[in-house]
């Protein structure tokens, strides 16, 4: 149980385009989903927390207009990187929590490369 | 500001040995703690959660929590080369946001 999927697993795009990443909880209802970013050999960095049906809460320094998060249902959250630039190239990982609220289950991640 | 401290390593142990990973946390009232394993290039996967003082065992893994010392550890018995990964300690946020505070991780290498 507690399976989280992400799509796509890898994406390459041109600078200036937008990229949407989907995160789905497959076998449980995720009341809260989290979006992280991780640069090579660095720690996980929490970008934002989203609750179903409400606006996401962004961490300090994360631009909410650049990283659009939608959590429209209890099983789906999306992260859209708008007007992507090469410095946005990173490993984006979502996680979801459900029943006991605090345990987070991670998706497999999306590797974004902006050319 | 919550902080979770881990020795970055690398921690190197021979195959079959016990690997001991340690973590300290700053928030005395924290109630929940988690260990995640992250292989290079992959996302973290949950190994164990622990909420009460003492030991919690799951197969070759034992988590230990000492709230008085604000210390949580993970023991891996009979270490295997496939255990080589970065191990992340996390502290539950409590409250209504359910955020976890992660340590920077300890890189474990198990040598055949």
Report pLDDT for A4: 96
- Report the C-alpha gap between B61 and A23 in whole angstroms: 29
Flag if B46 and A106 touch (Cβ within 8 Å). yes
Would you say A3 and A30 are in contact if contact means Cβ atoms under 8 Å apart?
Answer: no
Is the Cβ of B99 closer than 8 Å to some Cβ of chain A? yes
Report pLDDT for A101: 67
A vs B, Cβ pairs < 8 A, gives: 46
Flag if A108 and B43 touch (Cβ within 8 Å). yes
Residues of B within 8 A of A44 (CB-CB) are 44, 88, 102
Mean pLDDT computed over A53-63: 92
Q: Taken in order A36, B69, B96, A26, is the CA torsion positive or negative?
A: positive
> What is the SS3 assignment for A86?
helix
Is the Cβ of B98 closer than 8 Å to some Cβ of chain A? yes
What does the pLDDT look like over B6-42, one tens digit per residue?
988 899 999 999 999 999 999 888 889 999 999 999 9
- Report the C-alpha gap between B59 and B51 in whole angstroms: 18
Would you say B15 and B77 are in contact if contact means Cβ atoms under 8 Å apart?
Answer: no
- Give the A window 22-61 contacts with B, CB below 8 Å: 32, 34, 43-44, 46, 49, 57
Range list of β-strands (E), A1-115: 4-7, 10-13, 19-25, 32-38, 45-51, 57-58, 67-73, 76-81, 90-97, 105-106, 110-114
Least trusted range by pLDDT, from A90-99, B49-58, B66-75, B94-103: B94-103
**What's the pLDDT band for B96 if we cut at 50, 70, 90?**
low
Search chain B and give the residue with CA nearest A35.
Answer: B99
Residue B44 has its nearest CB partner, among A46, A103, A106, at: A106
Parallel, antiparallel or unpaired: strands B11-14 and B106-111: parallel
- Report the C-alpha gap between B14 and A64 in whole angstroms: 46
In this structure, what are the phi and psi dihedrals at residue B83, rounded to the nearest 5 degrees? -80, -10
Residues of A within 8 A of B43 (CB-CB) are 91, 93, 106-109
Residue B100 has its nearest CB partner, among A57, A104, A107, at: A104
Parallel, antiparallel or unpaired: strands A90-97 and A67-73: unpaired
């Amino acid at each position: 149980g507690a399976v989280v999927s992400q799509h796509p697993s890898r994406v390459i795009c041109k600078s200036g385009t937008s990229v949407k990443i989907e995160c789905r909880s497959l076998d449980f209802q995720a009341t809260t989903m989290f979006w992280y970013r991780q640069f090579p050999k660095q720690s996980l960095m929490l970008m934002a927390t989203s609750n179903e049906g409400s606006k996401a809460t962004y961490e300090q320094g994360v631009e909410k207009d650049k990283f659009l998060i939608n959590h429209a249902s209890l099983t789906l959250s999306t992260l859209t990187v708008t007007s992507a630039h090469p410095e946005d190239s990173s490993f984006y990982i979502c996680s979801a929590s459900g029943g006991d609220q605090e345990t987070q289950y991670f998706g497999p991640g999306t590797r974004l490369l902006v050319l | 500001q919550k902080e979770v401290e881990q020795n970055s390593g690398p921690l190197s142990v021979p195959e079959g040995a016990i690997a001991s990973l340690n973590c300290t946390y700053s928030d005395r009232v924290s109630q929940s703690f988690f260990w995640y394993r992250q292989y290079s290039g992959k996302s973290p996967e949950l190994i164990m959660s622990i909420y009460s003082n003492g030991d919690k065992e799951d197969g070759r893994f034992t988590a230990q929590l000492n709230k008085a010392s604000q210390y949580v550890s993970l023991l891996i018995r009979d270490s295997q080369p496939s255990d080589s990964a970065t191990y992340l300690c996390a502290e539950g946020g409590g409250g209504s946001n359910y955020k976890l505070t992660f340590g920077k991780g300890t890189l474990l290498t198990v040598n055949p």
